[in-house]
Chains A and B, each alone.
Chain A
Amino acid sequence: MSAIQATDLVRRFGEVEAVRGVSLEVAESEIYGFLGPNGAGKSTIVRILTTLLQPTSGSGSVLGHDVVKEPTTVRRLIGVALQEAGLDPKQTGRELLTLQGKLYGLKGKILTDQVAEVTELVGLADAIDRRIQTFSGGMKRRLDLASALLHRPRVLFLDEPTTGLDPLSRALIWDRIRELRERFGATIFLTTQYLEEADELADRVAIIDHGRIVRQGTPAALKAEVGADVIDVAVEEREVGAAREAITDLQTRGELPEGELRGTRAGYTLFVPDGPQNLAVLIRGLDKAGVRFGAVSVSRPTLDDVFLAATGGRMAAADADGESEDGQGQDREPAGSGRRAS
C-alpha cells in the first residue's frame, strides 16, 4: 500500500484552476520532494491531501484512507506543518504542544513524555515555557514541526518548512527530517521552492508548474534527463540580441555543438555536452563579436536546469510572475542561489 496517493486531483477557485489533474504516489518511508515556484499549486495540493480542502474532482488517500470520506482517520495518521506556522502567540510553547496533544487524544504520562521528546528533538527545550510571541521566525517553525510530530504520525506533510529561515535553522530542520525517517520510518511529503533542498533530502522529486506535474523521478535521473552540461552566460539587456546572434553563428559554423539555447532573465543558458571545452569556444566567439558579457559558468545540470528544460523558465523567473497562491512577501532568496558554480 502506498503512503500517499492522488489521482487526477483538480481544484478550482472560481475561474482559477490552481491544480489541474495531479496524480502521484508516494511509498512508505519515502521522502518525496514537491518542487515548484510560488503559485504553482503546491500548497493547494497539500491542503487537499491533509483534509483541509476538498478537491473539485479527483481523489486522494493516505495509507489507503480516502481524504474526503475518512478525514478523521487521515488526521490521526498524518502530521502537518503548514507553510504559515499559525500558532497562538498568547500561549507558551508547552501549552500549545499540550493542547495539541490533548486534541490527538494523548494524556497523562504519554502526553508529558511526548511534549518533552519533541521539544528536545527540535532544540527548543530552553524556550518552551516562554510565550510564543517572543519566539523568532525560526523558533516558530521548529515549534510547529514539533507539534506535527507529537502523536508520532506515519506520514508527515511539510509545506515549505524552511522558507525564510536562516541557514542554521534550515540545516537543523534538514537533519530532523532525515532523523524522522530513520528513527520512525515516517513518510515525508515535502514541498519546497529551494532546489538544493529537494536535491539534498528527497528520494524522489516531482516538479510542479502551473498546477501540473511536469517531471517526476529521482534527482539523479531527472538531471541525467537533461543529458548535457550547462553553460550560463550573463549579458546586459542591450547586448541580448548581439549575444544570441553570436551564439547561433558559432553553432551554424559548427564551432559550437547544436545544444539547446534558452534565454533567461540574466542572459543565456546553453545545454551542451563537454561543457569546459565548449566554454572556451563560446567566450572567444562572444569576444570576437564584441559582445560584453558578465559572469560565465559551466556546471553539471541541477534541478533548476531540469525545471528550465521542462517548463522553459527558471524557478526564480516563474516565481516573479507566478499568480502568488501562497506568496507571503517573506524574504526569499533567489531560488537559483543554491547553484554550484564551477
Chain B
Amino acid sequence: MSAVAPDAGRVPGGRSGEPQTLAAPAGLISDILAITGRAIRGILREPELFIFALIIPVFFFVVQIGALGDVAEQQLGISNYATFQLPISILFAAASTSGGNALVLDIAGGYWDKLSLTPAHRSSLVIGNLFGEMFAVLGYSVVLLLFGFAIGVRFAANPVIGSLGLLALTLLFGIGFASVSIAVALATGSVRATQSTFIIFFPLLFLTPSALPRDLMTGWFEKAVSINPMTYVVEAARSFLFGYDGAVIAKGFLAAALFSALTFALTALAFRRRVRMG
C-alpha cells in the first residue's frame, strides 16, 4: 500500500499546476496503526478503569475457590480447583471489557465525526478500537495469570505454551464479545445501551461448566450447557492447564472463531449502517 511513488496518490486539485493539499493516502495498515495507538493510549491513561475491570473476576475467582474448593478437590476429584477456576476468571474479564465504550464516547462526543472527516479508511476507526480492546484483554489475562500463579495455580504441562495458548484463545473469544459491544455502539450511538451489552455474558458464561465439570451435570442444565458454544471455549481453556487434549482445544478454537465471526459480521452491518446514515 505504501509502495507507490510519493506523489502517485496525491489528489489532483483540478488542473495541473494548481496548489495541492499535503494530504496523501496513508494506507489501511497505517490508518489502523494510528487508531490502535490512540486507543491504547486512552486505556493507559485510565488505569483506574483497568483495575475496576479486574475486581469482579478476581472476586469471583477467590469466592468460588473458598466456597467450592475443598468440596471439589475432596469429593469431585478435581486435583486443583484454583487451576480449574483460573480460565473462567480470565474469560470473565475478557468478556466484560465492553469494547464499544470508547467508541460510543467518541460518537456521542463528536470525535467520531472528526475522524470520519479525514480520508482515512473508515473501517480502521472500528478495527483500531477493537485492537485497543484486545490490548486491554491481554493486560487483564496476564495480570490474572500472574495472580493465579501467586495463589498456587500450576500448569500440568509446559506453562509457557499453556499460557500462550490460553491467551490466544482468550483474545479470539474477547474479539467476539468486544464486537457485540462495538456493534451496539455503532447501531445506537447510545452510551447506556452500549454499557448494558455485558448482560449477554451471563447466559453465555454461566451456562457452561464454569463451576463443575460437564460430566457431573444432569437434566436441562446439562443440555443447555452442551449447546452453548462457550462451553467448548471453557473446556479448551482448561485443557491448556490440565495437559493438552487436542480435540478439546480444537473445538474450543472453532467455537470461539464462529462466535467472533458472527459478532464481527454484526459489527460490520452496524458500521455500514452508521456510515450510510451519517
On A, residues with C-beta under 8 Å from B are: 1, 47, 50-54, 63-64, 72-73, 75-78, 80, 82, 84-91, 95, 99-100, 102-107, 110, 114, 131, 144, 147, 150-154, 184-185
Contact = CB atoms under 8 A, between A and B. Distances in A.
Contact of A88 (B111, B117, B118): B111
Contacts of A103: 26, 31, 34, 115, 118-120
B21 A152 contact: yes
Nearest to B105: A88
17 contacts: A63-B13, A73-B11, A75-B23, A76-B21, A78-B117, A86-B111, A88-B38, A88-B42, A90-B45, A99-B35, A102-B34, A103-B118, A104-B26, A147-B114, A150-B22, A152-B21, A153-B23
Interface residues on B, range: 35 or more
B111 to A, nearest CB: 4
B55 interface: no
Contacts of A76: 11, 21, 23-24, 119
A82 B114 contact: yes
Q: Which secondary structure characterizes the binding site on chain A?
A: loop
Contact of B278 (A53, A99, A102): A53
A1 B45 CA distance: 47
Interface in B52-92: none
A185 B23 contact: no
A154 B119 contact: no
Nearest to B120: A103
Contacts of B109: 86-89
Contact of A86 (B19, B42, B113, B119): B113
A152 B10 CA distance: 13
B125 to A, nearest CB: 9
A221 B222 CA distance: 82
Can you list the 9 inter-chain pairs with the closest CB atoms, starting with the nearest? A86-B110, A53-B278, A105-B24, A76-B23, A103-B120, A105-B26, A103-B118, A86-B111, A151-B23
A90 B46 contact: yes
B11 A77 contact: yes
B22 A52 contact: no
A76 B10 CA distance: 9
Given A64-B14, A88-B38, A106 B114 contact: no
Nearest to A106: B22
Interface in B86-137: 106, 109-120
Contacts of B21: 76-77, 151-154
| B19, B24, B114 interface centre (most CB from chain A within 10 Å) | B114
Nearest to A1: B14
Contacts of B276: 54
B163 interface: no
Contacts of A75: 23, 117-119
B117 A51 contact: yes
Contacts of B9: 105
B22 A152 contact: yes
A86 B112 contact: yes
Interface of B: 9, 11, 13-14, 19-26, 30-31, 34-35, 37-38, 41-42, 45-46, 106, 109-120, 276, 278
Contacts of A99: 34-35, 37-38
Contacts of B34: 99, 102-103
A14 to B, nearest CB: 12
Contact of B22 (A82, A84, A104): A104
A6 to B, nearest CB: 16
Contacts of B35: 99
B22 A85 contact: no
Contacts of A77: 11, 13, 21, 23
Contact of A50 (B19, B31, B117): B117
Contact of A91 (B25, B31, B41, B116): B41
Nearest to A89: B109
| A50, A64, A80, A151 interface centre (most CB from chain B within 10 Å) | A151
A185 B14 CA distance: 15
Contacts of B19: 154, 184-185
Contact of A82 (B14, B31, B37, B110): B110
A332 B116 CA distance: 28
A47 B113 CA distance: 10
B119 A104 contact: yes
Contacts of B112: 86
A88 B106 contact: yes
A189 B30 CA distance: 31
Contacts of B42: 88, 90-91
Given A64-B14, A73-B11, A151-B23, 11 more contacts: A1-B14, A53-B278, A54-B278, A84-B110, A90-B42, A106-B22, A131-B45, A147-B114, A152-B21, A153-B23, A154-B19
A80 to B, nearest CB: 5
A80 B38 CA distance: 21
A89 B113 CA distance: 15
A194 B25 CA distance: 37
A105 B34 CA distance: 11
Contacts of B24: 76, 104-106
A139 to B, nearest CB: 16
A294 B19 CA distance: 56
Nearest to B117: A80
A272 to B, nearest CB: 46
Nearest to A85: B110
Contacts of A72: 119
B119 A105 contact: yes
